[in-house]
Structure formats: C-alpha cells, structure tokens
Amino acid sequence: MFDEENKRKSHEARQEWDSKVKQRYNQTLEFKTHSGLPLKPVYGPEDIDDIDIQDIGYPGVYPFTRSDYALQYQFQEWKIQQIHGYGLPEDTRERMDMLVKDGMTGYFGMPVFNLVLDLAAQDGIDPDDPKAFANVGTCGMSFSHVHDFEIITKGIDLHKAQFSLITADTCVVVLAAYIIAAERQGFHRSKLRGNSMNWLLRGFTCGKETFPPAPGAKIMAKLVKFCTEQMPYWNTTNINAYLVREAGGTAIDEVGFALAWAIATIEACIAEGLNVDQFARRFGFQISTSMDFMEEIAKLRALRRLWAKILSKRFGAKDPRSMHARMHVQTSGSALTAQQPHNNIARAAIQALAAVLGGTNGLDVSCYDEAIGIPTEEAHRVAVRTQQIIMHETNLHAVTDPLAGSYCLERLTSQIEEEVMKVIDKIDGMGGFVKALENGYPQKVLAEHAAERFDKIQNGETIKVGVNKFAMEEEPSPVFRPDPKAETEAVERLRKLRASRDNDKVKKRLESIRDDIRSDGPLIPAIMEAVDVDATLGEIWKILKEEYGWIYLKNC
C-alpha cells in the first residue's frame, strides 16, 4: 500500500516506539477483541501494508467494503425500524401509530413496520391450543388467521408501506395471510413491499423444534421462488445472524454461520430453477451490534466484502445489486441487563453508533427495558430518539464510512474476513451448512461459546456494569404486560371464526396443501387458498409438520 521509503520509515518508527514502551513499562500488553482476535496496543501503517487497496476501495464499488452505495446517508438516511408487537392486533396497531408519530420511518419517508408475532404464532399454534397458554400476545402480536392482518393493516397504503414480518418458522403461512389481507383491501401482491424473515434454518440458534434442515432449506427456496416470480418488490430472505449472536456466538460465528446459511439458501434456490441474479438482490441480513465497538464496525464491513466475493466468485453473479449485503442491525438484546436498566440506554446508543459507522441500511435500537419485559412507550420513544440524535446531531451522515483508513479498523476488517473464511471452509468440508446442522456442528460451537461468555461474566473477567461491578441495591423495575384479557378475546374470536366459516371447504383446501407438498408443488399458492377460506395458522402448520417432519434440531 505504501512505497518502499515510507515502509522503511514506518518500520523504524515502530521499532523506536516499541523500544521506548518496553523501557518504560517493562511488561507485555495482551488484549483481545470479544471474539478473541489479538489486539495490539497501537496500530500503524505497517499493520495494513499487506491489505490490497482494492479490498478497501471506495463506497459503491466492488467488493463494497465501505458501502453498497457511492453515497449513503448523504442521499438517504437509514431506516428507523423499531420492532414492535404485543397483545391483540388493535394493541399493536396503537403502538405502531405512536412510533410513526414519533418518527419511525423508512427510505424517503416511506412507512416501515417491524412487526413481531407472539410466541404462539411463532410456534405455529392457535390461541386455543393448550400449548399456547400464557403465550398469546406475549413477545409479539397475536395472530392465527387472515382477519388479524386485516385489522393491523386497515387504513395503511400497502403499496407504499413496508412490513417486515418477524415470524420465525411460520413465514410461509404469514406471508400468505398478509397477501390475502392486502388483496382484500385492493392492494395487488406485485406492488407489495416488505420482508419475510424466512428463517427456516434458524433452529440451531434457539434449541426449539423446527423442520429438518433439508426440508427447511427447500421451503425457504419455495418462498423465494414465489416472490421472485410474483412479488418483485418483496425482500424474500433475511438471514438472521442476530440470532447466532444472541445464542452466545462471537462476531466470527455470527458472520461465518450466517454466510454459510446464506450459501445453503442460494444453492436451494438454484435447485428450484432460479438464476442467482434473479433473487439474490432481495436477500438481506439481520445482524447484531454489541459492545466491542471497533470489532462491531469492522464486522459489518467484512460481511459486505465477503458477501460480494461469494456472490461473484462462487455463484457467478453479474448484477452488482446481487452482491449488496443489505443489513438491518438490531442492537444486542443479550448485552442488556435487568439490573440498573437505565444503563442500557448508554449501551444501546454505543451499539447504534457502531451500526451507523459500519454502514447499516436499517436500525432497531433495543429498548432499555427489554431485559425486563415488553418495552413501554417511554422506552420505545427513547430508542427512536437515540437514532434521531445520531442521525441529526452528530454530522455522521455527511461522510460515507468515515473511519476507513484507520489502521486498527482496516486490520480488524481483514482479520475478521480471514477467520470467517475458516468457518466457511470448515463447513464446506462437512458437505455444506445443511450437513453441518445435521451433524450438530454449529450447535456445538454456540453452546461452547455461550458457556465461555457466561463463565467470564461470572468470574469477573468480563465486566458488566451494574451486574458484577458497580452493583447496587435497587427496587424491582415495573414491568409492562399486555392485558390478560387479550388471550381470552383471541380465543373467542377464533371460536366464532370456526363456527361461521365453511368447514368442508377449509378441509378440502388443507388437503390440497398436503397434495401440493407430495407432488413438490410451489406451496405458497396452496397455502393462500387455504388462508382465503379462513383456515388458521395452526391448522395449516399441522399439515406442514406432518409432511416435512418436525424435529429438535440440537439432537438431529
């Protein structure tokens, strides 16, 4: 990167500095990032001399290390996209409207909604299922049939708004219900904008029952194919690196497993007859930022660089948009503490700043009370204001990738790239990500790293302010809970629906889904037909589980 004379001068200056430090301090300083990458006490030009200048490059130029776009926040600010959802659809709609009023907005002022469904819906069960007890309206909005989406979307221009549907495994049913609800209100699927999480390989991160990996990848590909052919503005797949991190993974695990997961998804889509440039432009990543400030910024840059190289070199993508690693960052929930919860405001602000300096496309700042329960209105407002302060008061929007060229940052970016490629190569050697999941490799790594992180906090090696240092006696914080009547009301609505619908027609449509699966059909249209006659999530999900299988992935 530098000419020979400057290299010589830099090397001599470094030797002189090292000598002075050793004379004065007489000790070896050993620091590491939270992922275990070695850190030097100081960085200089010699630390980035081996980095190809083209790997750093300029924003909007392959390999997009510095940004997918030539100009980024100067042209369009990142999306303020706070996750929300609790109780009944009416309860969630009230919080949505509050967040919009407070400034939650997408590109060019487009409304954006980051809607999470409750624990029952994420498990594919209806509110009246005994297993749903105490989970209806908890950690998300209650959903079991198309009318729930008609309530949440009423009066919203769905050709302009963007809904991210946070649904876990049930994404295919939820997408079908969203389409039917939209089209009943006069909005055509070809103009709908939003995101399906399409997380059907996520089971290794959370220790829950899920589809076996091979069928899971197949269902993901069917959703991608349907949307590619019929919903050109819909973002089909959001590879959830965030869940990897929350499960105890390091930044290296987060990017490595996410990219291996994405590779498996691309391969499944190609097996469905799609060309990579048809669908990859609608892929994205949900990723975390945690507390190791410089490592988190470097991680986002390394992910962009690696994605571009994988798409170009491994899959032969030609369209630059296919190589854009579009990212939605959610600040780390696992970094928050129930103790002294207002400390989380500072934590979330630091993590949000890392996301912006790393060039995120969208941002969800975790609310300070999320370690306690469902966020209050005040906590949600503070999270929105945190983004707005960074956006409007720091002047960071004026320069794309302003930390580029930092000796430390560029070295870390390359170190992360190297370590992530070791993860991908190891998984390739196992036969790919699906085989790795079947063998339990990612699950084992996450369990080990989660245990290491816990032990470091327990023994004080990792300091958590307010937990193992600077702790204090305090009164329990108040917890916001959804109205317990929400569960009763959801069950009553479901009872009335089943009593009023044509149950013979529902039964026929459900069996049509089974026939479609057995004939390897497109899947989504059959689910839509069932949704349209008021089949419920639980009824449809039962068919999918019976046909594709349902396992506890950690034991597969």
Q: What is the CATH number of the domain that holds 217?
A: 3.20.20.240
pTM: 0.95
Q: What is the pLDDT of residues 381-397, one digit of tens each?
A: 999 999 999 999 999 99
Percent helix / strand / coil, the chain, rounded to 5 = 55, 10, 35
Angle between helices 89-102 and 146-153 in degrees, nearest 10? 30
Average pLDDT over residues 111-117: 96
Q: With respect to residue 310, please indicate whether it lies within any of the assigned structural domains.
A: yes
pLDDT at 555: 45
Q: What is the pLDDT of residues 28-59, one digit of tens each?
A: 778 999 999 999 999 999 899 899 999 999 99
Q: With respect to residue 122, please indicate whether it lies within any of the assigned structural domains.
A: yes
**Percentage of the chain surpassing pLDDT 70?**
99
Q: What is the pLDDT of residues 398-431, one digit of tens each?
A: 999 999 999 999 999 999 999 999 999 999 999 9
Q: With respect to residue 324, please indicate whether it lies within any of the assigned structural domains.
A: yes
Q: How far is CA 423 from CA 48, 58, 248, 294, 420, in A?
A: 23, 27, 16, 21, 5
User: 436 with 430: CB under 8 angstroms?
Assistant: yes
Q: With respect to residue 120, please indicate whether it lies within any of the assigned structural domains.
A: yes
User: 47 with 411: CB under 8 angstroms?
Assistant: yes
Average pLDDT over residues 97-121: 95
DSSP label of 461: S
pLDDT band (50, 70, 90) for residue 556? very low
Q: With respect to residue 50, please indicate whether it lies within any of the assigned structural domains.
A: no
* Degrees to nearest 5, angle at CA 457 with 456 and 458: 90
Q: What is the pLDDT of residues 490-506, one digit of tens each?
A: 999 999 999 999 999 99
Average pLDDT over residues 182-203: 96
The yes-or-no verdict on residue 338 having pLDDT over 50 is yes
User: 533 with 142: CB under 8 angstroms?
Assistant: no
Per the model's pLDDT, the better-predicted residue between 28 and 269 turns out to be 269
Task: Report the chain's mean pLDDT, rounded to a whole number.
Answer: 95
Domain count, the chain: 1
Cα 436 versus chain centre, distance: 21
Range of the domain at 297: 65-458
Q: With respect to residue 117, please indicate whether it lies within any of the assigned structural domains.
A: yes
pLDDT at 302: 98
Q: With respect to residue 254, please indicate whether it lies within any of the assigned structural domains.
A: yes
User: 160 with 111: CB under 8 angstroms?
Assistant: yes
Structural element, H or E, at residue 286: strand 283-289
Q: What is the pLDDT of residues 345-360, one digit of tens each?
A: 999 999 999 999 999 9
Q: With respect to residue 393, please indicate whether it lies within any of the assigned structural domains.
A: yes
pLDDT at 1: 61
